[in-house]
Amino acid sequence: MFSFSSLLTLVIALPALVAGELSGKVGPTTSHATKAAKKTCDITKYGAVADGKTDISAALNSAFTACKTGGVVVIPTGNYAMSKWVKLAGGNNWALQLDGLITRTGTDGGNMIMIEHSNDFELFSSTGKGAIQGNGYQFHIQGSISGPRLLRVWDVTNFSVHDITLVDSPSFHFSVDTCTNGEVYNMAIRGGNQGGLDGIDVWSNNIWIHDVMVTNKDECVTVKSPAKNILVENVYCNWSGGCGMGSFGTGTAVSDITYRNIYTWSSNQMFMLKSNGGDGSISNVTLENFIGHGNAYSLTLDQAWTSMKTIAGNGVQLSNFHISNWTGTEVKGTARGPIKVACAAKAPCHDVNISDFAMWTEQGGSQFYSCENAYGSGFCLKSGTNYAAYPATTQWVSKAPAGYAAPTMAADLKTAFGTTLSIAVPTMPASFFPGVLPITKLAGSK
């Protein structure tokens, strides 16, 4: 039987395995030190003032123009305001060093900072204290999520985003859109307790996301379509919607996805795949080393997700899912059991394998596992290769599985952040998964 001690033995060795999870190298091809040696463009030399009220967009655009073909744009320590958004496009061999705090003061939609059509790019904080404060509560208190996203990278190749914090976005926090060979790590994202405030959304190729903490009430780190060769590990969903994939519809094309070392506290789910109709395929997915406590759902693959409108099609074909080493507890196993695999009747799932799965209920003394139109091995999954549709089957248990106990994290939040008050910039946690240090040292740490 799997145990937490064996999990630690496994994850300590993980960095050496990364190359096998991705299709090639990720990250910028030139270090920011090399870029800085070529040219440095400090926004305060282009008119920016760290007074917390003067818009820095013109200065940032000017600094980018001066350094976009090789160099580092620097936003130094200090408090800055942004009332107009910036689109930094067409850069090559450049970096953006965010050491100050940028606070949103404008009200437009769109993206506060958008990096597009760029190669060999890095967004980072040298101190680990760089942040963007969206003050999204000013929208949310009015029931609106129509304000801007904080950060979006689009059509960017050979890049990294790391050691920065994104706080209280009016809308999504960070989107990785149609990018290649990217690394996102050492980040804290803290949002309000409301849907539509996604942490990190990714639809790209060959992306490594690791050592990230997300607080919100929607997606923690989620993969959308199209996506291939995505590795997500060492993620701390700290009072969040939880990790997942979807929502999926027509023309879904997702393959070679790994989620590993995911710790989820007081969230909607540990992992949820969502679709309702549509077509296309999702294949070669690994979900391993998950720890959860206080979550409504645990593992949910739901292809009749009622929160989305039914889309024409026979359903997205799921195949070759490997799910292993899950421990911890769910809130109430009699209401929402720890395993739900509900696949499309006209496209039954196959080769879904669940092993070393030890979850138990926090309320009551029983729980259930539910499977529908799903083939593979483990729990309520059906064996065989005819892949015919079948109605939901439920397997009840009234005894806790051996080895379900799992540790908690010191930074687990006691309550959610609401939608009516400003959210403070959080402290970066020392670890994003129990017993595992960040793969890359946190900026500014001793």
State the pLDDT at residue 446: 76
302-316: per-residue pLDDT in tens?
Answer: 999 988 999 999 999
State the pLDDT at residue 324: 98
113-157: per-residue pLDDT in tens?
Answer: 999 999 999 999 999 999 999 999 999 999 999 999 999 999 999
Predicted confidence (pLDDT) at residue 16 exceeds the cutoff of 70 = no
As a three-state string, the secondary structure of the chain is: CCCHHHHHHHHHCHHHHHHHHCCCCCCCCCCHHHHHHHCEEEHHHHCCCCCCCCECHHHHHHHHHHHCCCEEEEECCCEEEECCCEEEECCEEEEEEECCEEEECCCCCCEEEEEEEEEEEEEECCCCCCEEECCCHHHHCCCCCCCCEEEEEEEEEEEEEECCEEECCCCCCEEEEEEEEEEEEEEEEECCCCCCCCCEEEEEEEEEEEEEEEECCCEEEEECCCEEEEEEEEEEEECCCEEEEEEECCCEEEEEEEEEEEEEECCCEEEEEEEEECCEEEEEEEEEEEEEEEECEEEEEECECCCCCCECCCCCEEEEEEEEEEEEEEEECCCCCCEEEECECCECEEEEEEEEEEEEEEECCCEEEEEECEEEECCCCECCCCCCCCCCEEEEECCCCCCCCCCCCCCCCCCCCCCCCCCCCCCCCCCCECCECCCCCCCCCC
Predicted confidence (pLDDT) at residue 14 exceeds the cutoff of 80 = no
Q: What is the pTM of this model?
A: 0.95
Q: For residues 36-70, b (16+ Cβ closer than 10 Å) or e, as one string?
A: beeebbbbbebebbbeeebbbbebbbbbbeebbeb
- Would you please indicate which residues are annotated as catalytic (active-site) residues? 218, 293
Predicted confidence (pLDDT) at residue 7 exceeds the cutoff of 50 = no
223-237: per-residue pLDDT in tens?
Answer: 999 999 999 999 999
| Domains annotated on the chain, with CATH | 23-220 (2.160.20.10)
Q: How many CA atoms lie within 13 A of 210 on its CB side?
A: 25
Q: Which two tokens stand for residue 411?
A: 């930074």
State the pLDDT at residue 30: 97
Q: Which two tokens stand for residue 186?
A: 């050492």
* Averaged pLDDT for residues 218-247: 97
Predicted confidence (pLDDT) at residue 12 exceeds the cutoff of 70 = no
* Residues whose CB is less than 8 angstroms from the CB of residue 359 and which lie 6 or more positions away in sequence, other chains included: 292, 298, 326, 327, 328, 329, 330, 338, 339, 367, 401, 404
